[in-house]
Chains A and B, each alone.
Chain A
Amino acid sequence: MTVLGGVPRWVAALAALGALFVVLPLAAMITRVNWAEFLPLITSESSVAALLLSLRTSLAATALCVVFGVPMALVLARARFRGQKILRALVLLPLVLPPVVGGIALLYTFGRRGLIGQSLEVLGVTIAFSTTAVVLAQTFVALPFLVLSLEGALRTVGTRYEAVGATLGAGPTTVLRRITLPLVFPALLSGAVLSFARALGEFGATLTFAGSLQGTTRTLPLEIYLQRETSPDTAVALSLVLVVVAVIVVGFAHQAGSSGLRGGAIR
């Protein structure tokens, strides 16, 4: 039985239309999958190379997001300093920035003649158009997802448990390790999963900053875009793989997020 729970019928109708708008294109794509050739298509050398590269770089980017995003979220949620609001806005900028702009910005930072790249070049380190560049591009666009979800959770949990921990003799690092992080762990997990998903789907910044070299910088989205010209069947098959990964990831994040609300509730 369907219960509208006080939602007007016309709102429900619009909601259904919106849901259809999201689901229909996916269904349309699935109708075009060449099932007979599906396995060979997704296991071809270039496909496997792209898939493995995507997984590797996305995991590395997620790790970087956790390493830097957790401290950033902590500072934004707990510390008080001048320019905090501006810093938060800047940190979240990649969320609204077109990824290709991000790619250009990264190029002018880490590229051969970039702000930092120039010095790195002297030391014999080249970042642009390498796998490292892919990871940096993905981290750049994915970082705000983790920072945003974790900062929100930190604010919801509040500082009362941390204050109790401190009066029980726990130093700041112990409080972080034994109280703060366990309390926001569900949000950290869902934030990391969202960052992973965003990294996996990264296209514009990667193409601009890292290029498209098979096995080195050509990730799955780039491979799909390339194959669309020459072998639409491969493009569709790989797209389906990406959709399945995304669905699993979103489902996982959703579960972690909802258990987070329970775990973080304060009586």
Chain B
Amino acid sequence: MTLSFEARVADRGFDLSFDVAPGETVAVLGPNGAGKSTLLNLVAGLVRPDAGRATLDGEVLFDTAAGAFAAPHIRGISMLAQDALLFPHLSVLENVAFGPRSAGVRASVARSAARDWLAEVDALDLAERRPAQLSGGQAQRIAVARALASEPRLLLLDEPMAALDVSVAPAIRRTLRRVLEDRAAIVVTHDILDAFTLADRVLVLDAGGIVDEGATREVLERPRIRFTAGLAGLNLLTGVRTAEGLLTDGVELRGAAVEAVAIGAPAAASVRPSAVQVSLLPPPDPAGNRLRGIVRDLEPRGDLVRVRAEGLSADVTPARAAELDLASGTPVWFAFPAAALSVYGG
């Protein structure tokens, strides 16, 4: 299975192209309105592009120049949405058998295939239930089985864990990791854990275009643009490689190179907000990494408060934030150990 895709949708400002290689799982990341769902709907055939061409294994999905458009049901592409959307009038077994039966398989054969897929997602005991009798996690598990039972050439997942309780998401994620192992899939998500767990490669979308892409770890652990760093929850510092670390804005920071970069070459470095300390007075150790900043805003995040300044963020305890009397406009010092700064090519 190889997908090659290129499309433009004018009124949504959507214009991008990408490929999916056989067996590859691609995660699509980006903020709301970036065009993630439009991308999936275009691939599935639920939205028509204004211009573009896409092929799956050489078969044309759409080609506006030639006026070709394949209907969704003949594409061999199934979609798993945020909500399970199990057909409420059919039993769990009939829901899973729906794909094979639509392909013309005899009812008894389709049901036995459905049982196999239910077993695959550990839900065989739910076969006779009605969708209304299932929990959200169970329903999504069945939806996975139903999507796989139609034996799609390409599987689309639209934030499959977003509507689930945090308590059941890990089990579904594990199931997905297993079934996606050797399947071609596109996963839209806003959770980078999904990207790390499921995807070989990520596309980062913003405003209808691709702003970053590459192997998952490469892109998310060594972000090269501010936008991706934000998604990955990292601080990004850019500058020039020095023997000790990185020279950024006239300040030399010491860090550990995670990738060979020639001294003097453009480089980037990342540091987790949780590794950054905040103080009002200059940190006592002048040899340590320290940067000045002015607090822009404070955002409570669970049991920590994220202190954001231009270009750098730090996570501190609420007690610490109160002790320092932090507010928008407060001048502060940020400090972090050399070991927390990863330096790589920019």
B residues 130-162 near A (Cβ < 8 Å) are 146-147, 150, 152, 156
Q: Summarize A's interface: helix, strand, loop or mixed.
A: helix
Q: Which residues of A contact B (CB under 8 A)?
A: 160-161, 163-172, 174-175, 178-179, 182-183, 185, 263, 265, 267
Complex CA distance for A170 and B45, rounded to whole angstroms: 13
A-B contact pairs, 30 of them (CB 8 A): A160-B83, A160-B85, A165-B73, A165-B98, A166-B45, A166-B72, A166-B73, A167-B44, A167-B45, A167-B46, A167-B72, A167-B73, A167-B77, A167-B78, A167-B152, A168-B146, A168-B150, A169-B73, A169-B74, A169-B76, A169-B78, A169-B99, A169-B102, A170-B73, A174-B102, A178-B87, A182-B90, A183-B88, A183-B89, A263-B89
Smallest CB gap from B79: residue in A: A167
Q: Known contacts A167-B72, A168-B99, A169-B73: does B87 contact A179 (CB below 8 Å)? A: yes
B78/A161 in contact, CB under 8 A: no
Smallest CB gap from A185: residue in B: B89
With a cutoff of 8 Å between Cβ atoms, the chain B residues found around residue A170 in the complex are: 73, 98, 102
Cβ of A62 to closest chain B Cβ, rounded Å: 23
A-B contact count (CB 8 A): 77
Complex CA distance for A54 and B45, rounded to whole angstroms: 49
Mark B68-84 against chain A: 1 for CB-CB distance below 8 A, else 0.
Answer: 00011111111101010
Complex CA distance for A179 and B44, rounded to whole angstroms: 19
Q: Known contacts A161-B85, A166-B72, A170-B73: does B98 contact A178 (CB below 8 Å)? A: yes
**What would 17 more interface pairs be, CB under 8 Å, given A164-B87, A167-B152?**
A161-B85, A164-B79, A164-B81, A166-B73, A167-B45, A167-B77, A168-B98, A168-B147, A169-B73, A169-B102, A170-B73, A170-B98, A178-B87, A178-B98, A182-B87, A183-B88, A265-B88
List the 6 closest A-B pairs by CB distance, nearest first: A170-B102, A166-B72, A168-B99, A167-B79, A169-B102, A182-B89
B44/A171 in contact, CB under 8 A: no
B85/A164 in contact, CB under 8 A: yes
With a cutoff of 8 Å between Cβ atoms, the chain B residues found around residue A160 in the complex are: 81, 83, 85
Q: Determine which residue in B73, B81, B147, B152 has the highest number of CB atoms from chain A within 10 A of its CB, and name it.
A: B73
With a cutoff of 8 Å between Cβ atoms, the chain A residues found around residue B74 in the complex are: 169, 171
With a cutoff of 8 Å between Cβ atoms, the chain B residues found around residue A174 in the complex are: 73, 102
Mark B95-115 against chain A: 1 for CB-CB distance below 8 A, else 0.
Answer: 000110011000000000000
